Structure 1
Amino acid sequence: MAKTIRDESTASAYWAAVNTFCALQDVHVIADAPVGCYNLAGVAVMDYTDALPYLENLTPTSLTELEIASSGSSEIVQETIEKLKETGKQLILISSAESEMIGSDHQNMLAMKYPSVRFFPSNSLGENEWRGRERALAWLFDQFDDGQPAEVEPGAVSIIGPTYGCFNSPSDLAEVKRLVTGAGGRVAHVYPFESKAADIAKLKNSAAIVVMYREFGAALAEKLGRPVLYAPFGIDETDRFIEEIGRLAGTPEEAAQFIAEEKRTTLRPLWDLWRGPQSEWFPTIRFGVVASKSYADGIKRVLADELGMQCLFSHDSATADNSAVREQIKATQPQFLYGRMPDKIYLAEADAKSRFIPAGFPGPIVRRALGTPFMGHSGVVWMVQEIVNALYDMLFNFLPITRRQPDSAAPAQPLKWTPEANAILEEIVKKAPFISQISFGRELKRKAENLAASRGADTVTPDILKQLA
């Protein structure tokens, strides 16, 4: 029986190839695809974001019904190559779901007529974007490696992984670069974000490789044969990352000094927040995460394992059952939810009072400024800062503000409450943020008694609470 998938979380391997190859400055991508496939991100939920900018180095063959139904796409591919072969850029032809459905395979044609043009079968119909990126990065190295043995450059560190369509990559990449240089390393390459195809063979000369994401990049790192580190989340993991970069770059003393300086500078706001009165709220905070694996695991590690907050759930969005996620959000209603646009929709469906914080795609979110990292020491400070600000916002909502229209007068006589009504009141109040439960409970009790009095009743019963809830 076919399985219905709710709110698909990832794009296809076709877009993985586009987002990977188009990031290279000396590459032009030809997509064996219908018109429109060069500017419309193919995901099931809207993904309007400048993480996927207008791609000037992507040209579709503009398949029509003629090619798809009868003639095949070989001729139109050759016409497109002829138009682009004088650009001076390396041409890469990729398949799309449409060309794969009609069995287009241009490997032999290219070998005979255009040997400098490479063909990448994206497997759009069989893989999601993470598997697609993994394969695309490794394929590029196979295609462009010069076959020479590595000549390790002392202190050189290459970062692999940042491609178009990755959530929050400018900020997190800036933080990883800052940590590498602070530890005494030299950022030699950021691949493919700040690289060319001509740079790919040089990756193996790095003293160390940093893989930005747990979702993809490991296959290429293994091919390079260099020591591998992953971009860190949290205080302890970041400290270990700095120490290891220092060891591999031959600058252990500089790394140790940098960690000490981080505690006096970057991490100082965290210490100040921890010593302030708001630190008493931290153990009461209940949060959930639905994001790609790097962020799902990383946010949980920072907020729960290091800061002692309560993690209700943490899901890898690529493998999560969104129907189950929807029900879990409805049942738990976390105080903070780090997630995607589908999760924000689920909150709205449940009328939950959770504070939503974007932590993944799909979703209409712009994150090009460098001040919103999740990774590294700066990421810890930013996450805690956002939580504390949100807590103060919640308190503001319960201030006794004088309004233009006075609320309805309180009942003349105190009303009685049935035990069942009191139990329902307690259950409703438990779902409110801890710091506002007293104010929230008092306000809900007042509304219930006013509603009961307006009906001429002298007792608050469960039906009154259920109506208000």
Structure 2
Amino acid sequence: MGKTVRDESAASAYWAAVNTFCALRNVHVVADAPVGCYNLVGVAVMDYTDAIPYLENFTPTSLTEKEISSSGSAEIVRDTLAKLADSDKQLILVSSAESEMIGSDHERMLKMQFPGVRFFPSDSLGQNEWQGRDRALRWLFDQFDDKKPAAIEKGTVSIIGPTYGCFNSPSDLAEIKRLVSGTGARIRHIYPFESDLGDISDLKNSEVIVVMYREFGSDLASVLERPVLYAPFGIEETRRFILEIGRLTGNEDSAAAFLQEEKRSILKPVWDLWRGPQAEWFPTVRFGVTAGKSYALGLETFLSKEMGMQCLFSHDTTETDNTLLRDEIMAKQPQFLFGRMADKIYLAELDAKTRFIPAGFPGPIVRRALGTPFMGHSGAVWLLQEIVNSLYDMLFNFLPIQKRTGETEEPQIKMNWSGEAESLLDEMVKKAPFISQISFGRELKKKAENLARKTGEKSVTVELLRKMN
């Protein structure tokens, strides 16, 4: 019996191809895709987020049952391409799961009737979105590189990375651009997010390549035969990143000066928080991560290895078994969970007292502003600020709030507890985040005593507590 996949968090390579190609200014994508959800990427929002704007350079063939069940998609593809014949953009035809299932391969037809149109078989059924993005970026280079030898321009850096549908990419990209420019290097290209097809051949002329995501982009970077750096997380990774960019571009002195200014300005809130009383909480903070590979590794590196917080788990969502993850969340109940909408649902199902911080798609979260980075020095400040603010917010539960009600509550008769029940209560409270254990224990005790009164029990027993667990 095949394995059941619960709450798949990665889209297919079809979505990856559309998200990659449509980011290029002078490309128009024709998707050999059916009427319905596969057109959603062109007219609405993928994965229930606003990560993707309306794509004006996207046209689906809108396959119907007729094409899928009998005639095939060749005719409707020809009609769609003919309507776009006057386009001044490069047309790229992309297959979908449906067109691949009926064996639509348009290479021969395109060579005969539309020689200028390129066909990209997305392998929608075989690859996920990260594999698809990686292959799409490499395919673009193979198709449109001018094959000329590299003419490297000193002091230039190109960034390979953000496509549509990448969580928090506007903010993280702004931080990486700030760091690169701060060293004195010149940014040559942001590919594909701020590029067109003419920039593809020019990538190899950069002195250094920065790959923003560990999930994809490395394959393209490898064929450029240039030094490659990955976007950094936290303080130490960012320090090394700045100095290495300076070394590789011949800007050692300006990079060192920039790093010193970073410590005096951007990083100052980190030092202030570290020296303040809230730093006493850091060793007690227990967190978990379920996100893309870059965020999973980056958050664990910064929060655990640098800030001393306790990392209970850090999972790359492309490899995570969500059924096992749900069990792990229930068993460990982290104080903070960085994750996707699926993880937020698991927390709600378990009634966990965990603070959820979005760190990946899918999820109905807006991350289009430039002030919420996870990467670089600015990301270190923002993440620490979010955690400390949440810790202070948790303390709100300790305030003796006087509720105003229209009725006067009668004083409750004191309820006895068996010794075994008190021991079990202590074990249950230990599962809650450290800083909220007092309020959690108080709430749990109140619920147990109310349940005992309703059921006519004279004391709280182990059996009654287990009914609540």
Length-normalised TM-score, structure 1: 0.95
State the one-letter code of the partner of 1:51: A
**Superimposed CA distance per residue, residues 432-466 of structure 1 (whole angstroms, 9 cap, x where no aligned partner):** 32223234434544555566567776644324434
| Conservation of the 8 A alpha-carbon contact between 2:33 and 2:39 | no
Shift of 1:215: 0.6
When residues 401 and 98 of structure 1 are mapped into structure 2, their CA distance, relative to the original with a 3 A threshold, is: same
C-alpha distance in structure 2 between counterparts of 1:450 and 1:409, whole Å:
13
C-alpha distance in structure 1 between counterparts of 2:189 and 2:32, whole Å:
30
Shift of 1:70: 2.3
Q: Could you say which residue in structure 1 is the equivalent of 2:257?
A: 257
C-alpha distance in structure 1 between counterparts of 2:100 and 2:386, whole Å:
45
Shift of 1:35: 2.4
State the one-letter code of the partner of 2:14: Y
Q: Could you say which residue in structure 1 is the equivalent of 2:163?
A: 163
| Conservation of the 8 A alpha-carbon contact between 1:160 and 1:191 | yes
When residues 394 and 407 of structure 1 are mapped into structure 2, their CA distance, relative to the original with a 3 A threshold, is: farther
| Conservation of the 8 A alpha-carbon contact between 1:212 and 1:231 | yes
SS at match of 1:92: strand
Shift of 1:400: 0.2
Shift of 1:430: 1.1
State the one-letter code of the partner of 1:409: P
Which residues of 2 match residues 275-286 of structure 1 at below 5 A? 275-286=275-286
When residues 442 and 60 of structure 1 are mapped into structure 2, their CA distance, relative to the original with a 3 A threshold, is: closer
Shift of 1:85: 1.9
Q: Could you say which residue in structure 1 is the equivalent of 2:411?
A: 409
Q: Could you say which residue in structure 1 is the equivalent of 2:437?
A: 437
Q: Could you say which residue in structure 2 is the equivalent of 1:365?
A: 365
SS at match of 1:397: helix
State the one-letter code of the partner of 2:293: K
| Conservation of the 8 A alpha-carbon contact between 2:46 and 2:52 | no
* Residue 239, structure 1, aligned to residue 211, structure 2: no
* Residue 4, structure 1, aligned to residue 4, structure 2: yes
| Conservation of the 8 A alpha-carbon contact between 1:14 and 1:96 | yes
* Residue 52, structure 1, aligned to residue 44, structure 2: no
When residues 216 and 419 of structure 1 are mapped into structure 2, their CA distance, relative to the original with a 3 A threshold, is: same
SS at match of 1:184: coil
Q: In the comparison of the two structures, how many residue pairs are matched? A: 465
When residues 23 and 450 of structure 1 are mapped into structure 2, their CA distance, relative to the original with a 3 A threshold, is: closer
Q: Could you say which residue in structure 2 is the equivalent of 1:27?
A: 27
**Superimposed CA distance per residue, residues 346-376 of structure 1 (whole angstroms, 9 cap, x where no aligned partner):** 1111111111111011111110001111100
Instruction: Give RMSD over aligned pairs.
Output: 2.0
State the one-letter code of the partner of 1:377: H
**Superimposed CA distance per residue, residues 20-51 of structure 1 (whole angstroms, 9 cap, x where no aligned partner):** 00000000001111123564259xx9821121
When residues 49 and 132 of structure 1 are mapped into structure 2, their CA distance, relative to the original with a 3 A threshold, is: same
| Conservation of the 8 A alpha-carbon contact between 2:40 and 2:46 | no
| Conservation of the 8 A alpha-carbon contact between 1:398 and 1:440 | no
Q: Could you say which residue in structure 2 is the equivalent of 1:150?
A: 150
When residues 41 and 324 of structure 1 are mapped into structure 2, their CA distance, relative to the original with a 3 A threshold, is: farther
Q: Could you say which residue in structure 2 is the equivalent of 1:389?
A: 389
* Residue 122, structure 1, aligned to residue 122, structure 2: yes
When residues 63 and 318 of structure 1 are mapped into structure 2, their CA distance, relative to the original with a 3 A threshold, is: same
State the one-letter code of the partner of 1:261: E
C-alpha distance in structure 2 between counterparts of 1:81 and 1:453, whole Å:
73
C-alpha distance in structure 2 between counterparts of 1:70 and 1:458, whole Å:
73
State the one-letter code of the partner of 1:91: L
SS at match of 2:391: helix
SS at match of 1:281: helix
When residues 135 and 451 of structure 1 are mapped into structure 2, their CA distance, relative to the original with a 3 A threshold, is: closer
C-alpha distance in structure 2 between counterparts of 1:292 and 1:49, whole Å:
16
**Superimposed CA distance per residue, residues 308-363 of structure 1 (whole angstroms, 9 cap, x where no aligned partner):** 11111111101111110111111111111111111111111111111111101111
State the one-letter code of the partner of 1:365: I
Q: Could you say which residue in structure 1 is the equivalent of 2:85?
A: 85
| Conservation of the 8 A alpha-carbon contact between 2:333 and 2:433 | no
**Superimposed CA distance per residue, residues 85-116 of structure 1 (whole angstroms, 9 cap, x where no aligned partner):** 21100010111111111111111111122221
| Conservation of the 8 A alpha-carbon contact between 1:23 and 1:192 | yes
SS at match of 2:162: coil
State the one-letter code of the partner of 1:116: G
Q: Could you say which residue in structure 2 is the equivalent of 1:307?
A: 307
Structure 2's unaligned 5+ residue stretches are: none
Work out the percentage of aligned pairs sharing the same amino acid.
Answer: 71
C-alpha distance in structure 2 between counterparts of 1:30 and 1:70, whole Å:
21
| Conservation of the 8 A alpha-carbon contact between 2:397 and 2:439 | no
Structure 1's unaligned 5+ residue stretches are: none
C-alpha distance in structure 2 between counterparts of 1:398 and 1:144, whole Å:
62
Q: Could you say which residue in structure 2 is the equivalent of 1:104?
A: 104
Shift of 1:467: 5.2
C-alpha distance in structure 1 between counterparts of 2:46 and 2:147, whole Å:
43
State the one-letter code of the partner of 2:52: L
**Superimposed CA distance per residue, residues 251-297 of structure 1 (whole angstroms, 9 cap, x where no aligned partner):** 11111111111111111111111111111111011111111111111
**Superimposed CA distance per residue, residues 40-98 of structure 1 (whole angstroms, 9 cap, x where no aligned partner):** 259xx982112122211110112222222222222221111111121100010111111
Q: Could you say which residue in structure 2 is the equivalent of 1:225?
A: 225
